[in-house]
Amino acid sequence: MTSAFRRKYFGTDGIRGRVGGDLMGPELALRLGYAAGRVLATEPTAHGRPMVLIGKDTRISGYMLESALEAGLAAAGVDVLLAGPMPTPAVAYLTRALRLSAGVVISASHNPYPDNGIKFFSARGLKLPDELECRIEDALDAPLGCVDSELLGKARRLDDAAGRYIEFCKSSFPNALDLNGLRLVVDAAHGAAYHIAPQVFRELGASVSTLGVEPDGLNINLEVGATHPSALAAEVKRQEADLGIALDGDADRLIMVDRDGRIYDGDELLYAIVRDRLHTGAVEGVVGTQMTNFAFELAMADLGIPFERAAVGDRYVLERLLERGWRFGGENSGHLLCLDRHTTGDGIIAALQVLAAMRRQSRSLPELLDGLTLYPQILVNVPLPDTGDWREHGKLQDTYLSVQKELEGRGRALIRASGTEPKLRLMVEARDGALAQSCVQRLAESLRA
């Protein structure tokens, strides 16, 4: 049986749920810490015994889950380093840099504060391999235990975690360039990068004002950050700043805003990065997802760069990049991967790559995108039909084939089931927005026929 079918607790991005619900709570965290510790105890380590780093975002439930995880890991004989509030990509970097056995992030990313999650990074700073996840899942169902007292793990705080990561982010920006004279508004979504992101850009010379840097445990992602960029757009215009940079709660997403308040999504920012890299070397290929705009695919073809689509989720983009030996990929939601700079998606580092392109070419963000105009993309959610498998719904399939034929060379259509709700996602994009709207309406109506 494959790992995808064996998963009981782990989803595509660790374990996530509403705190206090059936899945996410202190008991689960305690058992997960112990199970992961027992599995990691069988793996080779540079420290003589397993050592794990725990970082978290700013949700109030992070304190509780952190303590439970720490106790479980210690009971399994694993030493723990506590980094406190720390971006997800920072945990990936520190795990690799400190030669640790694994890194653990307590975060539900862009979700609201009542949710939380737990995910792991391997010693290489990559998402945990499926084989290890499956072994942890198996151990989760075993009785909770404890090693002998002399073998118990110890915990200590990693006091210089933020400074280490700030220097790592800065190292991804060319030494010959700086951000002097640039006025930025940085929105940290009241999340894990609230004390880090502004400092990175300041130390590179930018004049920085902030938004979303006052976490109270309950306001993470609340009407700010990459999932609500309109707040940043308004602030950039009000301050007459040059650019705005929006992260999400765990700082692995990036959305940017120009001085006119125009919002730039992940497809546009990835294009700016990739096109700039062509000035400094070869780009082997780029990976997007099923939701990557069709205009981006055409733009890659114009640049002579191979392009492939993975399933939605940065995990799948990363897997395809590693399979192909490519370095650049991402999602229109703002997850951007530059594997020549980091092992995982990183909102701060992605922003620095866009800013480096602007400085290197002495061009504005709109000018960097003069070869890309995104197609209007219409997305409609409809209830799943109660007549069985939607893939066997005759009227929907006939309409889908008709729409694909009509869009040939001018756009594309996509139907996929939601992974979290009993709904179908109907997406159509085309150069002509009216055509996209008409086609998606026909698809939706076919389900009601």
Condensed to tens digits (0 to 9), the pLDDT of residues 61-91 reads 999 999 999 999 999 999 999 999 999 999 9
Pair 183, 198 in one domain? yes
Report the run of H or E that residue 434 belongs to, with start and end.
helix 433-448
Pair 29, 147 in one domain? yes
Last residue of some domain: 199, 230, 255?
255
CA dihedral 334, 339, 343, 349 (to 10 degrees): -50
What tokens appear for 155 in the block? 């915990």
Pair 427, 399 in one domain? yes
Backbone φ and ψ for 69, nearest 5 degrees, come out as -60, -45
Pair 281, 251 in one domain? no
Pair 300, 418 in one domain? no
How many folded domains does the chain comprise? 4
- Cβ burial of 297 (10 Å; 0-12, 13-18, 19+) is middle
E strand map for 158-282: 183-187, 207-211, 243-247, 254-258, 263-264
Pair 352, 400 in one domain? no
Pair 173, 142 in one domain? no
Pair 238, 116 in one domain? no
Enumerate residues 6+ apart whose C-beta is below 8 A from 208. Answer: 184, 185, 186, 198, 201, 202
Pair 177, 194 in one domain? yes
Last residue of some domain: 212, 234, 255?
255
Cβ contact 254:226 at 8 Å = yes
Pair 215, 146 in one domain? no
Cβ contact 203:166 at 8 Å = yes
Is residue 149 helix, strand or coil?
helix
CA dihedral 147, 152, 157, 160 (to 10 degrees): -90
pLDDT, residue 387, reads: 63
How far apart CA 185 and CA 241 sit, in angstroms, is: 7
Q: Taking the CB of residue 109, how many other CB atoms lie within 10 A of it?
A: 27
Q: Percentage of residues in the chain with pLDDT exceeding 90?
A: 82
What tokens appear for 259 in the block? 């001085």
- CATH number for 403: 3.30.310.50
- CATH number for 231: 3.40.120.10
pLDDT, residue 109, reads: 92
DSSP code per residue over 174-195: -TT---TT-EEEEE-TTSTTTT
Residues of the chain below pLDDT 70: 1-7, 44-47, 386-388, 419-421, 449
What tokens appear for 251 in the block? 């700082």
Structural domain span for residue 363: 264-368
Is residue 428 helix, strand or coil?
strand
Return the active site residues: 109
Q: Taking the CB of residue 284, how many other CB atoms lie within 10 A of it?
A: 13
Tell me the torsion sign for CA atoms 420, 105, 126, 343. Answer: positive
Pair 169, 151 in one domain? no
pLDDT, residue 5, reads: 41
Pair 16, 134 in one domain? yes
Last residue of some domain: 159, 185, 201?
159
